[in-house]
Structures are given as structure tokens and as C-alpha cells.
Copies of this chain bind each other. A is one copy, B any other.
Amino acid sequence: VPGSAGSLFDVHNLPYGVFSHAGGGRRVGVAIGPSVLDLTGACATEHSPHADLFTAGTLNPLLAAGPETWRAQRAEVTGWFTDPGAADRLARHLVPRADVELHLPFTVADYVDFYASEQHATNLGRLLRPGQQPLPAAWRHLPIGYHGRAGTVVVSGSEVPRPRGQRWAGEPGGSVVLAPTARLDIEAEVGFVVGTPSQRGRSVPLAGFADHVFGTVLVNDWSARDIQAFEYVPLGPFLGKSFATSVSPWVVPLAALEHARVRPPARDPRPLPYLDDAEAQPWGLDLRLEVRVNGSLLSRPPFAGLYWTPAQMLAHLTVNGASLRTGDLFASGTVSGPGREEVGSLAELSWGGSRPVPMPDGGKLSFLRDGDEVVVSGTFPGPGGALLGLGEVRGTVTPATR
């Protein structure tokens, strides 16, 4: 496909998404260079055995089909793109990416968010609970997480109205007000999309990760820090997070990430056996994020340094017998590295608003202002030194509504 070789979406990547074009219905596609291959159309005209997976306008049937089918379908598409005869036949199913509308790629079942970056958890602990131990007592024993609102997971490009909520009017313990958040923040994260379901009462071991997880998306878990600080004891974040979570439209299959696998950091204490990946080939991933506000690059959060891998997150999520459904989404929590310009939230970047970030427009950024546009993008190493892309998740803050 013209323009694909050497691009972030070259033939070694092949992420799946859902698009519409020229007023038509939703179709499944694969991104390739500057184009989308219409899989709904191509599988029909090529008499693919997988054609039935692509007629629903969502990735859910493909996700549910399981790892054998994921491999076979990826091999089929790779075959088309590397066979000159097929490429000619398929040209009519290529659409410029610039011309399509992208939709939420799958129906989200349950959404879980973890807290897997030691730097982020330490920074937030210092900001929210000054004078106390920043890391909670259980933090090095298990990947701490919680359930978020699946119904407000939206695709990149969706507007984010500023949420209202209760917070202290002045000093904590005094009177309270209902007001639009004054501390609207981002959380740059990576999400993992479950395909294969599991049975209630059965846990998924570390080694089962790639049997259940289809692929990965970028996540911006918008957060209202003042609402969150007011409400979160003892049941955790609720309205401070539930108004919107944005995800990138292209789901990159795990199969594309083979060259990005790296050793995670050493853990102390050694995790319990169900979380111990010292003997296994672990699922550390060299995913490189970038955070931009109004076009200015503010930060480059490195996923490779995360204390807990996504395989550990999944093993923990299910160790109590909780079942998985097709479309479950679990995210890493904010990705922050040790450097100031490696953090994944504005709370960390501006240190709770006390060190505003100078912007090229002359303004200073502590938390998000109405009209601010946030883009989180990501890349990862492919074969032979190539750089491949996770795409981007984009969103603009709009004024508070009723």
C-alpha cells in the first residue's frame, strides 16, 4: 500500500478499528499507512473464512473468536498486503484514513483501572496525603486497581464537558460547594482489551495473558482532582473519574508488540507465586507515550518502567475467581517515569498546581482550561529497528453544562 512502508502503521502493525465513510454504516478496518483497509468489504469479496466476524460494525465478534482466529486473520491480512496480485484486487477496499470517521472500536464490558507506576503512585501519595507514607501498604504486594465507569468510555475526538461536583469551599471540614472542577487533569495510560472470556470461579494465570487479551489502546482517564480528593475516602474515586475516559480508535494486537517486550523492573519483595514472572517471559512493554496540550509536547511517559506488567494485572484481577467478558478493558493507571518530563498527569507536572508549566502562548498551565486540546500518542519498536505506532487519543475540554 503506497505510503505504508516505514510508517507507524506499516505491515508489521495492522491495528483494527471501526470506521464509517461517506455517510455509510460502521465497518471494521485495518489501518495501513495513510489508508484503511475495509475488512468488512475485503473479507466478503475474498470469500474469507472470517467474513462473518466483520459484519457487526464492532470488533466484538473478532475479540470473542479467540487467539487461533486472531492469528489466522492477521496472517490473512499480512498475506494480502505481501501478495502483489491480492493488493491489486484489494485496492478498491482502501479508503484514505483522512476521510473516515472512527468509532468506539468495541463495546466495553467492565472497565478496570490499575495504579501500576511506582513514580505516579508515589507522586500522588505525596500530593494527596502529605506527611504520610506515599505508597499504600499493599502497593508492592499486588497491583492496586478499581472499577471505573464503562458507559462513559468514549472514542478519541469526543468532547469532554467540564464536570461539576462537590468540594470543600475553603478549608477541609468547612462548608462545601457544587461547582465545575477547578482541577481538571489527564492521565496518560495504556489499556488492554480482553477478547476471550473466562469462567466465574477460575483464575487466569500469568501464562494465560495472550490467550485472553487481544490488544492494546491508549487511554486518557480524565480526572477532576478536587472532586476526587473530596469523595475518595473510603471507597475510592467515583465522580472524579466517571464523567469520561477516552480511548484511541485503533486496537494494536499483542502480536504486533513482540519486539516491544522487555524485562520489567526488579520487585522487592518478590511477589507471591501467582504474580511472580521471574521465571516466565514477562510482559514488560517498551511503549513510549507523548502528551501534548494545544500542540505543545509536555511529557514523554515511558511504559517500560512500570512496576506491574499487564499480565500481572490480569492474573490479579481474576485470582479471586472474577470472570472476564469479551470487551473488558483494563488500563495501567497513569504512566509516569522518574523524570519531571516523564509524568503522565498535570497534577504531577505542575506539582498540584504549585509549579505551573509555561506554554508557548504565554499562558501557564496548572490544570486544564476550557478549550484545551489534549493528545496522548504512542510508539513502540517493531522488527529491524522500525518504529510502529499506537495512534493517538485526543480530546477537547468544553465548558460545564447542566
Give a binary string over A301-316; 1 marks a CB under 8 Å from any B CB, 0 the rest: 0000000000000001
Give the distance to chain B from A374, nearest Cβ to Cβ, in Å: 17
Task: Report chain B residues within 8 Å CB of A319.
Answer: 164-165, 178, 239
Cross-chain contact B152 with A200 (CB below 8 angstroms): yes
Cross-chain contact A151 with B110 (CB below 8 angstroms): yes
Q: Determine whether A71 belongs to the interface, using a CB cutoff of 8 Å to chain B.
A: no
From A125, A154, A172, A319, name the one whose CB has the most chain B CB atoms within 10 angstroms. A319
Q: Determine whether A45 belongs to the interface, using a CB cutoff of 8 Å to chain B.
A: no
23 A-B pairs within 8 Å (CB atoms) are namely A136-B234, A137-B172, A137-B233, A138-B230, A138-B231, A141-B230, A142-B231, A146-B235, A146-B238, A147-B148, A149-B322, A151-B322, A151-B328, A152-B323, A161-B200, A165-B319, A165-B320, A178-B272, A178-B273, A235-B237, A239-B316, A240-B320, A242-B317
Task: Report chain B residues within 8 Å CB of A173.
Answer: 137
Task: Report chain B residues within 8 Å CB of A200.
Answer: 152, 154, 161, 243-244
Task: Report chain B residues within 8 Å CB of A273.
Answer: 178
Task: Report chain B residues within 8 Å CB of A109.
Answer: 150-151
Cross-chain contact B238 with A201 (CB below 8 angstroms): no
Task: Report chain B residues within 8 Å CB of A151.
Answer: 109-110, 322-325, 328
Within 8 A of B (CB), among A241-270: 242-244
Within 8 A of B (CB), among A134-187: 136-138, 141-142, 144-152, 154, 161, 163-166, 172-173, 176-178
From A230, A238, A323, A328, name the one whose CB has the most chain B CB atoms within 10 angstroms. A238
Cross-chain contact B234 with A128 (CB below 8 angstroms): yes
Shortest 6 CB-CB distances between A and B: which pairs? A236-B236, A163-B320, A161-B201, A146-B235, A147-B147, A235-B236
Task: Report chain B residues within 8 Å CB of A323.
Answer: 151-152
Measured CB to CB, the residues of A under 8 A from B are 109-110, 112, 115, 125, 128-129, 136-138, 141-142, 144-152, 154, 161, 163-166, 172-173, 176-178, 200-203, 224, 227, 230-240, 242-244, 272-274, 316-317, 319-325, 328, 400-402
Closest to A319 in B: B164
Task: Report chain B residues within 8 Å CB of A147.
Answer: 146-149, 238, 242
Cross-chain contact A321 with B401 (CB below 8 angstroms): yes
From A203, A230, A231, name the one whose CB has the most chain B CB atoms within 10 angstroms. A231
**Chain A contact residues: over half helix, strand or loop, or mixed?**
loop
Closest to A233 in B: B136
Query: What would 12 more interface pairs be, CB under 8 Å, given A146-B237, A151-B322, A152-B323?
Result: A110-B151, A115-B235, A136-B234, A142-B166, A145-B238, A147-B147, A152-B322, A163-B320, A224-B320, A240-B320, A242-B317, A243-B322
Cross-chain contact B136 with A202 (CB below 8 angstroms): no
Give the distance to chain B from A243, nearest Cβ to Cβ, in Å: 5
Cross-chain contact B166 with A272 (CB below 8 angstroms): yes
**Considering the chains assembled together, what is the distance between the CA atoms of A234 and B201 in angstroms?**
26
**Considering the chains assembled together, what is the distance between the CA atoms of A145 and B401 in angstroms?**
23
Cross-chain contact B236 with A163 (CB below 8 angstroms): no
**Considering the chains assembled together, what is the distance between the CA atoms of A146 and B149 in angstroms?**
9
Cross-chain contact A236 with B166 (CB below 8 angstroms): no
Task: Report chain B residues within 8 Å CB of A324.
Answer: 151
Give the distance to chain B from A56, nearest Cβ to Cβ, in Å: 16
Cross-chain contact B320 with A227 (CB below 8 angstroms): yes
With contacts A150-B109, A152-B322 known, is A235 near B138, CB below 8 A? no
**Considering the chains assembled together, what is the distance between the CA atoms of A319 and B240 in angstroms?**
11
**Considering the chains assembled together, what is the distance between the CA atoms of A151 and B244 in angstroms?**
20
Cross-chain contact B321 with A236 (CB below 8 angstroms): no
Give the distance to chain B from A96, nearest Cβ to Cβ, in Å: 30
Give the distance to chain B from A176, nearest Cβ to Cβ, in Å: 5
